[in-house]
Chains A and B, each alone.
Chain A
Amino acid sequence: MKYLQTIGLTLFVIGFALFNVSFFWSGYQLTPEIVKSQISDEKKASALLLETKEIVAPEPSSNFKFVADLSAAFERVNERQLAIFSLSDTELDKLASYNKEKFTIASVDSVFRGNDEQSAFKRKAFKDNGSWLDGQATSREQIQTVADNIKKYSIISQFGFDRYAVKDLKYSITKAAAISPVKSNPTLYLFLTFGLCIIGSMLYILPKLKLPPGIKNNGIFFNVMKNVQWLGILTGSWLIAFYVFLYFYPEYMTNWVLMVDPVSRLLSGNEAGRFFLYGFIYTLCILVMGVRMLINYRHSKYQILRTCSVMFFQTAFAFLIPEILIRLNQPYFDFKNIWPLDYSFFFNNRLDTLLANGGLGVFMLVWGIALIIIAVPVLVYFFGKRWYCSWVCGCGGLAETLGDPYRQLSNKKLSAWKIERWMIHGVLVFAVVMTGGVLYTYFTNSSWVLFFDSYKLREIYGAFIGAGFAGVVGTGFYPLMGNRTWCRFGCPLAAYLGIIQRFKSRFRITTNGGQCISCGNCSTYCEMGIDVRWYAQRGQNIVRSSCVGCGVCSSVCPRGVLNLEVKEEEGRFGKAILIGNNGIKLVD
């Protein structure tokens, strides 16, 4: 057993090391063909080519240098276009003096005569941006404002690259320009990295079958990985870095994306994007660590079924079906993702896509809404929020598999519970307001709602909640704060499910009479930071909005005190009484 595990660990480390090396292991060659293939606007493409002469030269460089050069090139293009197309002070003065007292917009035609591209642009842009000046008393200041706006908005978007375009292009150009062993033989590297890691993990995990079935928590608090010591901190840092690159700097991880190209082509027929890479790694983690979970908890049928369930929903619903839909020219859709976790469900681009896709699109829209307003309350009523959080959800799935080694790190303090309630409900309110704004904009075409800009708001939500909280903090902090940080403090869907679970559900955790010995195993291993013992030792049912029904408290209890049950609602909260002691009266 030791022997196999050592080999496994070695293979895993080799695979993982290669994976990390491949992050840097690439040269880049930017050719005009690549630029042209990535930028459809010919004028913009040639403007960029003018600025990328030295990158075009066929010399390999590191990804950091290449991306830096590319960014600089985009900036130079923008500067140059601004220089060409901006209205100069002399031109503005001229415009002002031409309109001695009253400003007429037609005067623009006389001031910017010329048949060249610049003059044509200036005429049109000033008319578009400055029509409000027409008929007003001439003011040099107002004319300047119009010129500034043109500089800020029109020139960059028409002739240069705004920040959204830069972000996308940096990624796609870097990917296309890469020349690396990975790119020339992705399948081989897929095997040498992911393949070795999977084989290694299995060799490490499977021999545990030899151990007798039962709770396997030995040594957890001495373990450098599971107790916020050097390895845990290192792992957390790696995960955080991974998420920061994934969400904010994908252009650096193109080699990794290239590696999974063959898989993507096989499934959807398209080349892989960064989120395909993410989905691929995510699913593998759930499957591999799911096997570990199955072996560790093989004495508990509840844990076995639950783990199989999250493995299935991730693989089929989150990973395969959406890719197959794309292959069939249908919209990408994850049938188990529910708003407001799926915060972009009501974004106009997604609504438009669904509505443009006939019967299936409409079905998807109706399905998504039905999940929100029917499935959530009905299923939570009958089973508790666990039906989603620890049986179906992808975030929950990852937390229960990859995150299982870290469940003991959740904070059990009363103060943490207070923070939790403020935060999670705050995010829910944020999600509702943001979505309300987005829908308002969808139906009215006006981006301003009361006092905020719905585009700005969705962008803030996406960056801070969608990427920052759910991703960077949610998973990156597994080894630091436990595996359910996002589910506990941030997930707006968990907040919604939790409100129903707390107030209208048949689910509760019952305690077995007076059998509790206050040992603390249940609280320690509750990933949601619920102080289960607090209830168990006073003989009170546990009815908490945050409980995801993972059942681990019940599994680890050495005295058989806890049981997840669904029964008629009456008496659900129960009285805090420990049976077995006559003559004892309750005091509140």
Chain B
Amino acid sequence: MKHIVIIGNGISGITAARNIRKRSNDNITVISGETEHFFSRTALMYIYMGHMKYENTKPYEDWFWKKNKIDLVKDFVEKVDPDSKQLVLRNKGNFKYDILIIASGSKSNKFGWPGQDLKGVQGLYSFQDLELMEQNSKGIKHAVIVGGGLIGIEMAEMLLTRKIGVTILVRENEFWSNVLPIQEANLISRHVRSHHVDLRLNIELKEIQSDGNGKVKSIVTNKGETIECQFVGLTVGVSPNIDFLKNSGIETKRGVLVNEYLETDVPNVYALGDCVERKYDLPGRRNIEQVWYTGRMMGEVVAQTITGEKTKYEPGPWFNSAKFFDIEYQTYGNVWNELKSNEMEFYWEHASGTKCVHVVWDKLTNQFLGINTFGIRMRHECFDIWLREKRSIDFVIEHLAEANFDPEFFSQHEDEIVSEYKKVTSLISQ
């Protein structure tokens, strides 16, 4: 029996462990330093907002691990030595493995701003960050969030529930417009503002100022403006958490480098999830994919490989989702923030200004390339098939109602979307 050791009990490591267990009797140990049990990182905000307790964010009950013979070790891996197939743990010392899976996730970015280590300045990634945020935000009046991404908006929503005023500094000219096309970015910017967030665009952080006791007092922007605040959220992205691999000999760049089989350059060492940087390109995907789904899919893949069925990481069409305050967002295929030269687009927005659909297709072949939908739920399965089958945009529009996943009795907008699409496209063809 082999001993499979997994570093990291996030979605990647745990998916790998569960799927290996389904297929083999090998010994499995998961070593992780953050929490004893697997919890859902994506739910951190709900703990702070009082929607859930930490307990509620654990996808499996505590007895699950023992029953499935998955050993859990709460400790930090300080060093990896592939030659002796050994790890060095902070408390438990040396630890042997036969196969190693690195699933160590990410850490928040900091860009060397003056004052970035003051008390009251933090990112949000780990459970400890959440506890820190609980302390840092106690009794304060105003917060500044730097960065207009998904974690930034979550942080804003969190702070607002504690009646803390929020200013968001965004470098781009609309919220998240480095990912979203301008129409959607604009819609979200409006929605963010309707929640009384002071959203400032085209602006950057220059400096964080101290109150003289090591605590944040205010920030200064690149435009010379000073904003008083007792809390600064740094949400300018995350990067692979791989410092402990420095002298291990395992090849890394920004992340742990892997091939199609998620193998590192060292035999019997695999890497998954947020900490991975793919050596090869996949169409429509970045080489570092810091999303939940990627971690999960990589976990499924590696489990098959390790249990004897060598499998490539071949994700289907891209999909993702998020929620901006009250507006849900789903995307299938690729809708880039800027239209590519071969692409055409159609954008529909509901009169309420809180729902929209944005589709993109290939100018020449009419092939449907992707959809963004805000405030309307759509079926992953439909788009997954249509994208794989390279359906035409006309087909997709015609069958849009089939993809609707909104609850019963919800207003349906497909008729309106279809007729507007026809109007717009007939104008173009004239």
- Point out residues on A near B: beta carbons under 8 Å: 212-215, 217-223, 299-302, 305, 413-414, 512-515, 517-521, 523-524, 533-534, 537, 551, 554-555, 558-560, 563-565, 578-585, 587
Whether the Cβ atoms of A579 and B316 lie closer than 8 Å is yes
Q: How many angstroms between the C-alpha atoms of A584 and B297 in the bound complex?
A: 9
Interface residue? B50 (CB, 8 A): yes
Cross-chain contact A580 with B409 (CB below 8 angstroms): no
Out of A513, A537, A585, name the residue touching B384 (CB < 8 Å): A513
A583 CA / B303 CA spacing, docked (Å): 12
Q: CB-CB contacts of B387-430 with A at 8 A, as 1s and 0s?
A: 00000000000000000011111110000000000000000000
Distance between Cα atoms of A537 and B59 in the complex (Å): 9
Q: Are A519 and B384 in contact (CB under 8 A)?
A: no
Residues of B within 8 A of A301 (CB): 407-411
Stretch at the interface among B105-113, B213-221, B319-327, B356-364: B319-327
Question: Is A220 a contact partner of B51 (Cβ separation < 8 A)?
Answer: yes
CB-defined contacts of B297 to chain A, threshold 8 Å: 514, 580-581, 584
Q: B51, A218: Cβ atoms under 8 Å?
A: yes
B381, A579: Cβ atoms under 8 Å?
yes
The distance from the CB of A563 to the nearest CB of chain B, in whole angstroms, is: 5
Q: Which residues of B have CB within 8 Å of A521?
A: 43, 46, 51-52
A558/B293 in contact, CB under 8 A:
no
Q: Are A583 and B311 in contact (CB under 8 A)?
A: yes
CB–CB A515/B319 < 8 A: yes
A-B contact count (CB 8 A): 159
A413 CA to B55 CA, complexed, in Å: 11
- Assess whether B407 is in contact with A584, with CB atoms less than 8 Å apart: no
B336 within 8 Å of A (CB atoms): no
User: Across the interface, which residues of A come within 8 angstroms of B195, CB to CB?
Assistant: 212
Closest to A413 in B: B61
Contact B407 A302 (CB under 8 A): yes
**Residue numbers in B under 8 Å from A299 (CB-CB):** 326
> In the complex, A583 Cα to B313 Cα: how many Å?
8
B226 at the interface (CB under 8 A from A): no
Whether A512 pairs with B379 at a CB distance below 8 angstroms is yes
Give CA–CA (A413, B56) in the complex, Å.
11
A580 partner, pick from B57, B58, B319, B322, beta carbons under 8 A: B319
Q: Is the CB of B325 within 8 A of A214?
A: yes
Please report the C-alpha to C-alpha distance between residue A223 and residue B53 in the assembled complex, in whole angstroms: 12
18 other contacts beyond A301-B408, A585-B309, with CB at 8 A cut-off? A218-B49, A219-B161, A221-B52, A221-B53, A300-B407, A302-B407, A513-B384, A515-B293, A517-B40, A520-B46, A521-B51, A533-B59, A555-B407, A559-B321, A563-B406, A580-B319, A581-B297, A585-B304
Q: For residues 286 through 326 of chain B, which have their beta carbon under 8 Å from a beta carbon of chain A? A: 292-293, 296-297, 300-301, 304, 309, 311-312, 314-317, 319, 321-323, 325-326
Q: Are B52 and A583 in contact (CB under 8 A)?
A: no
Contact with A along B321-356 (1 / 0, CB 8 A): 111011010100000000000000000000000000
Shortest B292–chain A CB gap in Å is 5
Min CB distance A416 to B, Å, is 11
B407 x A520 contact (CB < 8 A): no
Interface range, B side: 35 or more
| Contact (Cβ within 8 A) A217 B407 | no
Contact status of A582 and B50, CB under 8 A, knowing A512-B380, A560-B377: no
Contact present for B40 and A519 (CB under 8 Å): yes
Q: Which residues of B contact A300 (CB under 8 A)?
A: 407, 410
Query: Which single member of B56, B304, B311, B380 contacts A524 (CB below 8 Å)?
Result: B56
Is B202 on the interface with A (CB-CB < 8 A)?
Answer: no
B194 at interface, CB cutoff 8 A: yes
Check A219 against B407 for contact (C-beta < 8 Å).
no
Q: For residue A558, which residues in chain B have a CB less than 8 angstroms away from its CB?
A: 323, 328
Within 8 A of A (CB), among B158-186: 161
Assess whether B311 is in contact with A302, with CB atoms less than 8 Å apart: no
Bound: A558/B330 CA distance, A: 10
Chain B min CB distance to A576 (Å):
11
CA–CA, A299 and B22, complex, Å:
41
Question: Taking CB as reference atom, which chain A residue is nearest B43?
Answer: A519
Chain A residues positioned under 8 Å from B317 (CB to CB): 580
Contact A582/B377 with A213-B326, A219-B50, A519-B46 known, Cβ cut-off 8 Å: no
State the Cβ distance, A556 to closest chain B Cβ, in Å: 8
Closest residue of chain A to B11 (Cβ to Cβ) is A518
Chain B residue at minimum C-beta to C-beta distance from A581: B297
* Chain B residues in 8 Å Cβ range of A413: 61
Is B42's CB within 8 Å of the partner chain A? yes
**Cross-chain contact B315 with A220 (CB below 8 angstroms):** no
| Distance in angstroms between the alpha carbons of A221 and B326 in the assembled complex | 20
Interface residues as binary, B357-378 with A (CB distance below 8 Å gives 1, 0 otherwise): 0000000000000000000011
B285 within 8 A of A: no
Pairwise interchain contact A582-B407, C-beta atoms closer than 8 A: no
Decide yes or no whether B253 CB sits under 8 A from chain A.
no
In this assembly, does B254 line the interface, its C-beta being within 8 Å of a C-beta of chain A? no
**CA–CA, A301 and B57, complex, Å:** 28
Minimum CB distance partner of A222 in chain B: B50
Scan B41-81; emit 1 where CB is below 8 A from any A CB, else 0: 01100100111110011110100000000000000000000
CB of B246 closer than 8 Å to a CB of A: no
User: How long is the Cα–Cα vector from A84 to B289 in the complex, in angstroms?
Assistant: 94
Contact present for B22 and A587 (CB under 8 Å):
yes
Scoring B50, B309, B330 by chain A CB atoms within 10 A of each residue's CB, the highest score goes to B50
| A580: B residues at CB distance < 8 A | 293, 297, 315-317, 319, 380, 384
Given contacts A512-B380, A521-B46, A521-B51, contact A302 B408 (CB under 8 A): yes
A220: contacting residue among B50, B61, B301, CB under 8 A: B50
For residues 256 through 284 of chain B, which have their beta carbon under 8 Å from a beta carbon of chain A? none
CA A218 – CA B195 in complex, angstroms? Answer: 14
For A300, A551, A560, A582, the residue with the greatest tally of chain B CB atoms inside 10 Å of its CB is A560
Q: Contacts of A215 on B, CB cut-off 8 Å?
A: 326
B-chain residues with CB within 8 Å of residue A560 when the two chains form the complex: 321, 328, 330, 377-378, 405
User: Is the beta-carbon distance between A513 and B381 smaller than 8 angstroms?
Assistant: yes
List, in ascending order, chain B residues with CB within 8 A of A534's CB.
Answer: 59
CB distance from A520 to the nearest CB of B (A): 5
Contacts of B293 in A (CB 8 A): 514-515, 580
Complex CA distance for A299 and B57, rounded to whole angstroms:
25
A517 touches B326 (CB 8 A): no
Alpha-carbon distance A545/B354, docked complex (angstroms): 36
Report yes or no: B292 in contact with A517, Cβ–Cβ below 8 A: yes
Q: Which residues of B contact A223 (CB under 8 A)?
A: 50
Residues of A within 8 A of B407 (CB): 300-302, 551, 554-555, 563-564
Q: Which residues of A contact B406 (CB under 8 A)?
A: 563
Can you give 11 contacting A-B residue pairs, CB < 8 Å?
A302-B409, A305-B409, A517-B42, A519-B42, A524-B51, A578-B300, A579-B316, A581-B314, A583-B312, A584-B297, A584-B311
B2: Cβ under 8 A from any A Cβ: no
Is B23 in contact with chain A by the CB < 8 A criterion? yes
Q: Among A213, A515, A583, point to the contact of B321 (Cβ < 8 A).
A: A515
Q: In the complex, A537→B14 CA distance in Å?
A: 13
Q: Is the CB of B405 within 8 A of A218?
A: no
CB contact under 8 A between A515 and B312, given known A560-B321, A587-B22:
no
CB of B319, distance to nearest CB on chain A (Å): 6
Chain A residue, CB-CB nearest to B42: A517
Q: Which residue of A is nearest B293, CB measured?
A: A514
> Are A581 and B301 neighbours in the complex by a CB distance under 8 Å?
yes
Q: Which residues of B contact A212 (CB under 8 A)?
A: 194-195, 325-326
Decide if A513 touches B379 in the complex (CB within 8 Å). Answer: yes
A581 B316 Cβ-Cβ under 8 A: yes
Q: How far is the CA of A587 from the CA of B314 in the complex (A)?
A: 19
A551→B301 CA distance, assembly (Å):
34
B289 to chain A, nearest CB (A): 12
Contacts A512-B380, A520-B52; A564 near B316 (Cβ below 8 A): no
Q: Are A524 and B52 in contact (CB under 8 A)?
A: yes
Kindly provide the distance from the CB of A555 to the nearest chain B CB, expressed in whole angstroms: 7
